[in-house]
Amino acid sequence: MPITLLWAVDVYGRVYSLSTAGQRWERADDMLLELKRVTAGKGRCWGIGCDHHVYLNMMPSETPIRYREETYENQRWNPVDSFTDTLLPTDRWPWSDVTGMNPQPLHSFELPSRSWEWEGDWYVDQSCGDPSQTGGWEYAVDFPANFSPDKKWNSCVRRRRWIRYRRYIAQGTWAKIPLDSPRKPPLPLCDISCGGWEMSDQSGRYPYLWGVSQQGQVWFREGIHPRVPEGSNWEEVEVPKEVAQLSAGPGDLLWALVWDGNLLVRTGLSLDSPTGTSWVELESPGKEVEALHVAVGVSVVWVVTKDYKVWFRRGVNSHNPCGSGWISIGGEMMMVDVGLNDQVWAVGEDRGLYFRMGVTPSEPSGSGWIPVSAQWGNSKEVIRPSGQMTEASVLSCTDSDSELGPPDPQNSTDDTPVLEAAAPSVVPLGAADAPAPPLKTEDTPSASQHDAPKPFIPASDSFINSLVSDRDKTSTPQTSIAEVPQEEGEELSPVPILPTPEVVAQDIPWMNVDLEGAEAARSAQAAGLSLGHSSAAATYALGTLETSQGVGEEDGPVWTWISGGGCDVDVSSQISWLSPTGPLTSSLSLTPVQSAAWSEQQQQQQEHREEISKKPLERSNSVWVRKGGLRWWRDWKPQRWVDVGVALEQSTKSDGRKDSIFFVYYTQYDEKKHLHVFINEVTALVPVLRDCHYAFAVYTAQRTKQRWPLVLAAHTEKDMNDWLGLLSDCCCECRGITGPPSRQALWSTTSKGDIMVHEPSFSLEAAAHTLSCDLMFWRQVPGHLRCVESNSLGLVWGIGWDGTAWVYSGRNGQQPTPGDAAQVHQQTDVRSVHVYENQRWNPMTGYTDKGLPTDRPMWSDESGLKECTKGNTHPPSPQWSWVSEWAVDYSVPGGTDKEGWQYAADFPVTFHGHKTMKDFVRRRRWTRKCKLTLRGPWQQVPPIPLSDISLMPCLAQSRMEQVPVWALSDKGDVLCRLGVSPQNPAGSSWLHVGTDQPFKSISIGGANQVWAIAKDGAVFYRGSVSPQNPAGECWYHIPSPPRQTLRQLSVGRTSVFAVDENSNLWYRQGLTPSYPQGSAWELISNNVTKVSVGPLDQVWIIADGVPGFPAETPGAVCHRLGLGPMQPKGQSWDYGVGGGWEHISVRGNSAEAPRAPHPLPAGPPRSPLPPRPPTQVNGNAVGV
């Protein structure tokens, strides 16, 4: 890592630099230089002097800074004198620039400042042709034209270039920037900021310089270039309000502080527009507290308010320069500065320098403050009569605020020494109340060499002095900078106070004491020296230790400004003066007695530190960021994939609460923009099928209503899984969801096979104030299934695309245990992909692949709307892999001939398996198998492949030894699973139930009601099913709806709903305990593909589409509203998340909203009969 410098200024304007390879502050060589502020960049540092001039210090380098001045000598030919400098009135100047518009004689060039010197005299550029023949001249027909070194017969004009170099000689020193001439210079500046050398578009650029005048105007320094470090002139930038201070980051961020305490953000900064386009005003982060200082980095913004609280701006990026919110950071600071790598430096309220520890790209807010513990450039020696001196490094460290009581009056004698103090916060090591004895020349030989001490008053134009002059420095001195969150007001617990060593007056020689130092020591006698000490991740309570020296030219500085823009430090840097456990060194003269007392204090303090380190540390607010690159399916037309940057930002409060924001950064027409999604508003994270990308959709309530989720795609499966897992964890964390799904959970699957779960609340099925479907939060469960069924006892069964039965092996509603890792099994699934080959008959050649212009593609999907060939057809998603080759499928509904063809009169009509005279088109289906392998909490139930399954719903308080489970095999056989219980969810064996035809749908409801649909659409009811007779006795045929064929049904506690082949939803009327078959079918709705009826007779469906959004992918979760005992059919639909959902099961949700108890009637009961106990045993139909 190269050696870089940290710059700082004290209250007297003295400028210091601290090298990353050194251990000592070095003062600027110019002892007369006094600066108010400095701003550093890579290889340079700017400053504002007390004379209101701008100064520049360029770091020495091996490459000199040279600038080439050039001018052109122009001549015209005439018949008498040949080529002369006598030109026509319309010609350019005899000496001009390359354009000829501006005159530039040789004598007009002057050095811009004293920081430059000429390297030599003017000479002719000899790069054009042979210098001995051409003399450096270029010829042309006329001005302006294309010049060439060859002289022709029609060359009437010529020119040659003169060059002279000047060198910048002020490297390593502070050089004054000359005033603009002839343009009007800016008014006296009160603040400057350097930045812009790491623009997002191009890195390694030269920096920009911004300034603020005392009248609140903003100025921009133009012409700064690697060969022109000083720049050329100032340009004013319009601002809506008067600005007090500004900060420019290394990138394209610029924030300004206005006099009313609000903040201005400059937008539109770019290489083409370095001054930006517009301002956006933001309020101060503190409530009713104005902002005091602002500092920005590449993607961070820090603000200090007038109560010295530190704030961090969330969501700041070049695409979103205004950010999204404020986070309170512990510590009390006067100003902060953001340097390279977004590292943060600060000047504390005690005028000490501090560094923000733990700042990384993933945690930009850091973890705590540590002091900058470097030594001073020169130590002031205190001369004793004996000529002996003892030096020691003094540091009083505690873990919270401490106060030293007043000294004993009895020990306050004239012989008590008083150490020099540099600030009111410095604590004397002896009794400080005693008056200082007069200093005599014979007692102190060095006294004659010292001038009278300077008054302890900062510069009149000091930023700190002007803004905090109203604070009382002597009333209650702040003795530490404890990182306490903004929200908490309690004080830190007291800690043992380090005693001040007692000294014997007659054993201590006189010391040289400044009068001001004595006064400062008296005013700070109650202040403690404290410095928090803990591990690297701990929060530091920083003390107010400066130096115990008098305020003179060689004393330790009292800091007022710091700039780390040129200090290359990161979290991995090994810097001696930034060690959290390193000593904070100052030069103090101690007697042997004091040294011994101090050693005892060190031992006591170490024991105290060990005791404190065993206690839990209090965390402050922090921010964690994860960045990456994804692809985004653009929201507007033309819709296409766009490369975007994404960032997940998580804020952790001091009480452990977390909130997160997900950002998407994109560029539109060269304008940087962004989208953001609050994680607590995310309702679903669903993997989707999009052009064979590893894509997933992010849903919110608003985007669900608009039917337009945020679709993102990763480059690899690992990246997608990482982002999905990270976002899902943040969503669950902010909603307080932990562990596996509960027993009441709603289960669903998507058309892609992903398993989604929703944790219901009482309001989901409440009669009033029902939770809206678009507010439901769905999370993904590992695994892959075609359909899933559950009940409230925690049993969950699923069926894969290949018919394999799986049972959930997680611990529903229970806390995970160390043995849960063994519940994860390998899960496989096999799926068939189909394409259709289409042909049309013609009289000449018979059936060929030459169709009519209006026909479907000759290779298409089943609908014929999309062209699908063998070559361009891929597995459903990249997670699948082919396991077979393309083959003709003979098991197509409707039958085929011996070659697999199906025939029809035209496209599209119903196809059949034999050819007739009227069949002019035919098709056949090609199939290919693909396989998916993953791991999830699912256990396989061999050996029979299934097509449908149903678990009996029950109430939450039910207790059942065996749970009835009915299923259909892939051949249509009816099966009953025996031995299923919460302890053995997979059961023991299958019991075959006889039927006279194959079935395609089955469902079991309350009171062991079993309903089924045959493959021909006939409906059957199984009679006499009971726990003693789980298979029942016989089937009762139920008439189907007129002219409709049912395909799926679901039975609840007292109701039956079914879906026909035309996506209509039907309700079975007249169900009673005495006549459970019902009386008639009633049409409820259309646009339904699947229905699920729960134990509370709640109805949920998968809708084929959402009205008003025809472009959305079929399959949306939908809830029936208005259901009740008097309205079992419901009233309306509430559409939720959609776009590719395949199946839903609400048969586990038996959570009823608590009902208010009815007041008991006064007086004796009117009926002599005892009240019936509220018995509601599972399976018993409720009688009315």
| Per-residue confidence (pLDDT) for residue 658, from 0 to 100 | 85
| Per-residue confidence (pLDDT) for residue 145, from 0 to 100 | 83
Beta bridge partners of residue 94, listed in sequence order: none
- Sign of dihedral through CA atoms 177, 178, 183, 187? positive
Edge-first strand listing for the sheet containing 26-27: 26-27, 15-19, 5-10, 559-563
Do the beta carbons of residue 98 and residue 158 sit within 8 Å?
A: no
Alpha-carbon span 427 to 517, nearest angstrom: 11
Q: What is the pLDDT of residues 611-644, one digit of tens each?
A: 433 333 334 678 889 999 999 999 888 888 999 9
Question: Which tokens is 707 given?
Answer: 């039917």
Residue 817 clears pLDDT 50, i.e. is over it: no
Which phi-psi region, left, alpha or beta, contains residue 739 (left: φ > 0; alpha: ψ -120 to 50)? Answer: left
% of the chain exceeding 90 in pLDDT: 48
Alpha-carbon span 845 to 666, nearest angstrom: 55
| Per-residue confidence (pLDDT) for residue 607, from 0 to 100 | 57
| Per-residue confidence (pLDDT) for residue 609, from 0 to 100 | 44
| Per-residue confidence (pLDDT) for residue 430, from 0 to 100 | 35
Alpha-carbon span 216 to 198, nearest angstrom: 27
pLDDT range class, residue 181, cuts 50, 70, 90: low
Residue 969 clears pLDDT 60, i.e. is over it: yes
Mean predicted confidence (pLDDT) in 587-604: 45
Q: What is the pLDDT of residues 795-812, one digit of tens each?
A: 999 999 999 999 998 865
Instruction: Summarize the chain as % helix, strand, coil (round to 5).
Output: 10, 35, 55
Return the H-helix or E-strand segment holding 124: strand 123-124
| Per-residue confidence (pLDDT) for residue 555, from 0 to 100 | 58
| Per-residue confidence (pLDDT) for residue 132, from 0 to 100 | 61
Mean predicted confidence (pLDDT) in 884-913: 91
Residue 180 clears pLDDT 50, i.e. is over it: yes
| Per-residue confidence (pLDDT) for residue 807, from 0 to 100 | 95
Do the beta carbons of residue 1005 and residue 1053 sit within 8 Å?
A: yes
Residue, of 198 and 164, whose pLDDT is higher: 164
Residue 734, phi then psi, degrees to nearest 5: -70, -20
Residue 396, phi then psi, degrees to nearest 5: -100, 110
pLDDT range class, residue 606, cuts 50, 70, 90: low
| Per-residue confidence (pLDDT) for residue 179, from 0 to 100 | 77
Mean predicted confidence (pLDDT) in 499-506: 38
95-118 per-residue burial string, b: 16 or more CB within 10 A, e: under 16:
bbeeebeeebeeeeeeebeebbee
CB atoms near residue 230 (< 10 Å): 23
Return the H-helix or E-strand segment holding 515: helix 515-523
Residue 1090 clears pLDDT 90, i.e. is over it: yes
Cβ neighbourhood burial of 666 (10 Å; 0-12, 13-18, 19+): middle
Q: What is the pLDDT of residues 107-158, one digit of tens each?
A: 999 998 889 999 999 999 887 666 666 788 999 999 988 888 888 889 999 9
**Pairing status of strand 658-668 against strand 805-808:** unpaired
- Classify 949 as helix, strand or coil: strand
Q: What is the pLDDT of residues 183-194, one digit of tens each?
A: 676 778 999 999
Residue 190's nearest CA partner among 385, 464, 591, 520 is: 464
| Per-residue confidence (pLDDT) for residue 973, from 0 to 100 | 94
- Classify 18 as helix, strand or coil: strand
Which of 231-235, 263-267, 662-666, 882-886 is predicted least confidently? Answer: 231-235
Residue 521 clears pLDDT 60, i.e. is over it: no
| Per-residue confidence (pLDDT) for residue 236, from 0 to 100 | 92
pLDDT range class, residue 429, cuts 50, 70, 90: very low
pLDDT range class, residue 203, cuts 50, 70, 90: very low
Residue 239, phi then psi, degrees to nearest 5: -130, 145
Alpha-carbon span 1051 to 1046, nearest angstrom: 14
Mean predicted confidence (pLDDT) in 902-929: 92
Mean predicted confidence (pLDDT) in 195-219: 80
| Per-residue confidence (pLDDT) for residue 130, from 0 to 100 | 63
Alpha-carbon span 428 to 525, nearest angstrom: 7
Report the range out of 492-506, 528-542, 923-937 with the highest average pLDDT. 923-937
| Per-residue confidence (pLDDT) for residue 261, from 0 to 100 | 92
Q: What is the pLDDT of residues 338-354, one digit of tens each?
A: 999 999 999 999 999 99
Alpha-carbon span 740 to 781, nearest angstrom: 8
| Per-residue confidence (pLDDT) for residue 764, from 0 to 100 | 84
Residue 928 clears pLDDT 90, i.e. is over it: yes
Q: Is the bond preceding 144 in cis, omega lying within 30 degrees of 0?
A: yes
Alpha-carbon span 985 to 951, nearest angstrom: 11
Beta strands of 760-848 (E only): which ranges? 778-781, 787-790, 796-799, 805-808, 825-842, 846-848
- Contacts of residue 573, defined as CB under 8 A and 6 or more positions apart, other chains included, come to 1, 20
Alpha-carbon span 372 to 5, nearest angstrom: 13
Residue 271 clears pLDDT 50, i.e. is over it: yes
Which of 22-26, 181-185, 703-707 is predicted least confidently? Answer: 181-185
Mean predicted confidence (pLDDT) in 900-929: 92
pLDDT range class, residue 575, cuts 50, 70, 90: confident
Q: What is the pLDDT of residues 84-120, one digit of tens each?
A: 998 999 999 999 999 999 999 999 999 988 899 999 9
Beta bridge partners of residue 247, listed in sequence order: 255
Residue 274, phi then psi, degrees to nearest 5: -65, -20
Q: What is the pLDDT of residues 1050-1071, one digit of tens each?
A: 999 899 999 999 999 999 998 8
| Per-residue confidence (pLDDT) for residue 520, from 0 to 100 | 40
Alpha-carbon span 1019 to 1038, nearest angstrom: 5
| Per-residue confidence (pLDDT) for residue 1118, from 0 to 100 | 95
Q: What is the pLDDT of residues 1020-1042, one digit of tens each?
A: 999 889 888 989 999 999 999 98
CB atoms near residue 1043 (< 10 Å): 7
Q: In the predicted model, what is the mean pLDDT of the chain?
A: 79
Q: Do you know the residue count of the chain?
A: 1184
